């Protein structure tokens, strides 16, 4: 069976080796880059990269700019690494389409577990059929969403969030439940992460964004209006 390729981008060789060793132990194939410029070269050269682990503070091209450029053409899952603990950085990362955000120092075992979880969710999304509801068509095989016939560009996490809402339509979902299912880990920060994603998703869905109802003091519910 062909190994899944993961691109690890960090200017610290010891950090790359630590991550590489744990990924190889879990049977991943690892590509390495020591700066943003090398990362983009590798990404454009190798079309089989399934996931990117990306540091922020790097020479030549920083992680934000690498992520921004990749997101112009690809929905490949990205885990952002940083030594900073500023939640504004985290929100900026999610705003750019980052799928996970991990602050250093971190447990390599947890990092590998999150890599596996993201890839399983990506594969699960790809295996399911298209959904057509209330003017929204979600083609999970093509990773494509159209609203009233117009294509809508969603990040990987926004796509998963919409899928979770649709699959649980009519059910009131707490923020904790949404985070645990869509992000697949316990989130101990405030609710701004999910609220930011919901706001962006509503805006991208246009008029259909009103299907996502706010349940004050609890979370959200996806409900198609009957006319």
User: Which domains can be identified in the chain, with CATH numbers?
Assistant: 5-124 (3.40.50.2300), 130-222 (1.10.10.10)
Tokens 């649709």 sit at which residue?
166
Give per-residue pLDDT as tens, 158-193. 898 999 898 888 888 988 888 877 876 544 555 678
pLDDT at 148 over 80: yes
Res 132: pLDDT: 83
Least confident of 25-29, 70-74, 161-165: 70-74
**CA 188 – CA 177 distance, rounded (Å):** 13
pLDDT digits (tens, 9 = 90+) for 92-116: 666 777 888 888 888 888 889 889 8
Q: Dihedral angle at the C-alpha atoms of 61, 116, 72, 148, nearest 10 degrees?
A: -160
Nearest to 65, CA basis, from 76, 56, 77: 56
194-214 residue pLDDT tens: 888 999 999 999 999 999 999
SS3 185: coil
Taking the model in full, what pTM does it have? 0.58
**Which conformational region is residue 148 in: left (phi greater than 0), alpha (psi within -120 to 50 degrees), or beta?**
left
For the beta sheet containing 212-215, the strands, ordered from the edge strand earlier in sequence to the opposite edge, are 173-174, 219-222, 212-215
Sign for the pseudo-dihedral over CA of 12, 39, 17, 15: positive
């Amino acid at each position: 069976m062909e190994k899944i390729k993961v691109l690890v981008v960090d200017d610290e060789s010891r950090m790359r080796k630590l991550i590489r060793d744990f990924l190889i132990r879990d049977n991943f194939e690892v590509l390495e880059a020591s700066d943003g410029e090398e990362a983009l070269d590798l990404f454009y050269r190798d079309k089989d990269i399934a996931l990117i682990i990306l540091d922020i503070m790097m020479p030549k091209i920083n992680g934000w700019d690498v992520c921004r450029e990749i997101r112009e053409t690809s929905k490949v899952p990205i885990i952002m690494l940083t030594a900073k603990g500023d939640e504004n950085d985290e929100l900026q990362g999610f705003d750019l389409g980052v799928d996970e955000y991990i602050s250093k120092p971190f447990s390599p075992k947890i990092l590998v577990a999150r890599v596996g979880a993201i890839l399983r969710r990506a594969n699960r999304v790809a295996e399911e059929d298209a959904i057509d509801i209330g003017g929204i068509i979600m083609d999970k095989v093509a990773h494509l969403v159209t609203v009233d016939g117009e294509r809508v560009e969603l990040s990987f996490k926004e796509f998963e969030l919409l899928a979770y809402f649709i699959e649980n339509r009519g059910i009131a979902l707490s923020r904790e439940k949404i985070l645990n299912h869509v992000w697949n880990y316990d989130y101990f920060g405030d609710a701004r992460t999910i609220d930011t994603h919901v706001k962006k998703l509503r805006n991208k869905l246009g008029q259909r964004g009103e299907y996502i109802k706010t349940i004050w003091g609890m979370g959200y519910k996806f409900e198609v209006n009957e006319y």
